[in-house]
A and B are shown apart, each in its own frame.
Chain A
């Protein structure tokens, strides 16, 4: 069970869109639609922003969207705002009730 691969950092200017990738294997991302994404601001707990591949919990902005292609899941944030600056983590089911997270991506809003 290896961590999912995410870019260490991404950046964008306010109003722009950015995409964060999350690459796994055929045993996790490639085999299940249950990818979730989490936002973590410094000193805070992670917050769920996407579950079951592309669904948003109540209260999460529709500027957050997600998709998956083969072994890579992607999180897109549109209309970037300063408050979006945070760390983002993906997570996938790994079969047999196991779970694996990505290494995290630091988003900088320029």
Chain B
């Protein structure tokens, strides 16, 4: 059973870069049948899609975040990462990684989420 687990620093200073990692166990990031996404949830709010990666090197980003976000993959470590630059308090959120099967258009497996707080 494939599982996803996010990790990150927890606390980031304003204007710094937030770096998060999603470790994939029980499956391979190289399988072209799946895409890999980052989604965030502001405290007490709805979900916001950040971006999606699919092997080998395709990425799609939320237009509102595109100038600050990068998603990359390290298949040797079975993980994919999110980098969000120039963070502000508005980027404080619970960040989830998730899998998107190509055969249907949804996010079917999610990690438990990692909280990132932007504060000095």
Contact = CB atoms under 8 A, between A and B. Distances in A.
Interface of A: 1, 3, 32, 34, 36, 38, 44-48, 51-52, 55, 57, 89, 91, 93, 96-104
Given A52-B105, A55-B104, A101-B49, A46 B110 contact: yes
Interface of B: 37, 39, 45-49, 52, 60, 62-64, 96, 104-108, 110-113
A34 B106 CA distance: 8
B114 to A, nearest CB: 11
A44 B47 CA distance: 13
Question: What does DSSP make chain B's interface, helix, strand, loop or mixed?
Answer: loop
B108 A48 contact: yes
A99 B105 CA distance: 10
26 contacts: A1-B64, A34-B104, A34-B105, A45-B96, A45-B112, A45-B113, A46-B47, A46-B110, A47-B110, A48-B107, A51-B104, A51-B105, A51-B106, A52-B104, A52-B105, A52-B106, A55-B104, A57-B108, A91-B47, A93-B105, A98-B63, A99-B49, A99-B52, A100-B49, A101-B46, A102-B46
